[in-house]
Chain A
Amino acid sequence: MKKVLFLVIPFLITGCLHISDVKPWEKGTHAKETMKDAGIDKMRMKFDTHIYYSKEATKAGFGIAGGGCGCN
């Protein structure tokens, strides 16, 4: 039960936060590379993932689900 609750936490948090209505033309900041999961260098993130995968025992959760910002 504890585990289940813990896993649901991300969704509870996202559901409870204060959210303002951001219009399509207000997404200039969200379109920046610095706001992306991969940051300013997507290739480096791929190297990072490969290194951590081979040196640590965690074998999942490297982020196949990226999510969109509707800012393109």
Chain B
Amino acid sequence: MQLKYSLVALACIATLSAEDSISISYLQYDEDNNRVSVSAPAIAIQKDFGKDYTLDVYVVSDSVSGATPTYVEENVVASSGATSVATTTSVVPVYNQSNEFDEVRNAYTLNLTKRLENRNEISIGTTVSLESDYYSYELSGGYLQYLDTAKNRSLNYGLSAQFNEILVYCASSTDTEVCDASSGSSEAATSIGIGTEIGLSQILDKNSIIKGSLFLKYEDGYLSNPYLKAVKDDGVSLTLESDQRPDTRLGYGAYLSYKNAFRDNQTFQVDYRLYSDDWGILSNTVNTKYYYEATNDLTLGFGLRYYKQSEADFYQEGYFEPSARYLSSDERLSDFSAVTYTFEAKYNITDKLSTNFSYNSYDQSTDLSATYYTLGFKYKF
């Protein structure tokens, strides 16, 4: 026989989300051939205010260094500022040390979660990202709604709006989209993004949980890459043009994840994401993780991620027709696959202090491959 509670069963079941904590972490990312290196220290603070509010703060500073592409005629060096190269041979981007760049991006995120009487959660957040030639501001909101008394099933809605401003270097006065027609000076281009997501989460049993979600993102404005060029060939000469992409982009997809603690000290996670957009990109991502709690204080993790995408409709590796409206030879819009291997470890130094380390190897089927390490500490208070 079970005894149900008596007299007054308060409808209020309030919980705290987590312990207060401060985390610091450092990322070192290096691409092969020294193309791009990133050093990024980050700090995250999580603080509860009473039982109903949690504040999350995240600050990261990326220092990116590397080489920008210089467009060269085969065997003949041309400067990146050149607008036209008269040649019948090939023009290819190369990355060399003479054209190095160093940039710093600082991003600040604040997120506030409020728990309601019925334990559903509302969250609002904002992220500001600042670079010398790029500014981005995002507002987001979410609502977590439990669908049953035992809190085993929940719906999650999310909405975000983003505003971006990019200072575009004006390499060609004929490029009216990004250049002031009269003065030929650089101009700030803008874009907006709106994203939404709805997810369903279901605890299957004591040891497993499944989540599914649908997402949508719409972008409008300057969506090209101001650092990249594409080459047009009119049969007589080759012309360097700015990377030019459509002004709108609609992406959507689905996400599914499953987690199972199949032993007391072993957990398996797998997730799958399908993404498609009106630029012609279709991608599939499968991500798996395995955690092994070797001792009470040491947890090891192994991850394997496989990613594959199709190319954008307007992407071309070679030269574009003079009449081409959109042009991009950005490899990130090409047809490629990528594999990431991850090893990570977490060690509890004391009850309150823990350290994390990870080694990650990322290999694309393009010529891009990179390794990155993270090292961090977390202090609970």
Binding site for B on A (CB under 8 A): 3, 6-7, 9-11, 13-14, 17-24, 26-27, 29-30, 32-35, 37, 39-44, 46-48, 50-52, 55-61, 63-72
Contact = CB atoms under 8 A, between A and B. Distances in A.
Interface stretch (B66-74, B84-92, B171-179, B266-274): B266-274
B151 A65 contact: no
Contacts of B219: 59
A7 B252 CA distance: 9
A51 B200 contact: no
Nearest to A3: B276
Given A41-B344, A72-B18, A10 B160 contact: no
Given A9-B256, A55-B362, A58-B253, 7 more contacts: A7-B274, A27-B206, A34-B301, A66-B201, A67-B201, A69-B201, A72-B18
Contact of A7 (B17, B207, B214, B358): B214
A43 to B, nearest CB: 4
Interface stretch (B94-102, B180-188, B368-376): B368-376
Chain B CB within 10 Å, residue with most, of A22, A51, A61: A61
Given A55-B332, A57-B312, A41 B156 contact: no
Nearest to A66: B156
Contact of A44 (B195, B209, B285, B356): B356
Contact of A69 (B29, B209, B364): B209
A55 to B, nearest CB: 6
Per CB-CB distance, the 7 closest pairs between chain A and chain B, nearest first, are A70-B151, A10-B212, A67-B201, A65-B199, A60-B217, A43-B25, A64-B158
6 contacts: A22-B206, A37-B211, A64-B158, A64-B197, A67-B201, A70-B203
A51 B285 CA distance: 14
A58 B305 CA distance: 15
A30 B208 CA distance: 8
Contact of B204 (A19, A27, A51): A19
A32 B15 contact: no
A34 B259 CA distance: 9
Nearest to A28: B206
Interface in B329-381: 332-333, 338, 344, 346, 356, 358, 360, 362, 364, 368, 370, 372, 374, 376
Interface in B247-261: 249, 251-257, 259, 261
B65 interface: no
B211 A70 contact: no
Contacts of B62: 50
A8 B303 CA distance: 27
Nearest to B197: A65
B146 A41 contact: no
A28 B87 CA distance: 69
Contacts of B215: 60-61, 64-65
B139 interface: no
A44 B299 CA distance: 15
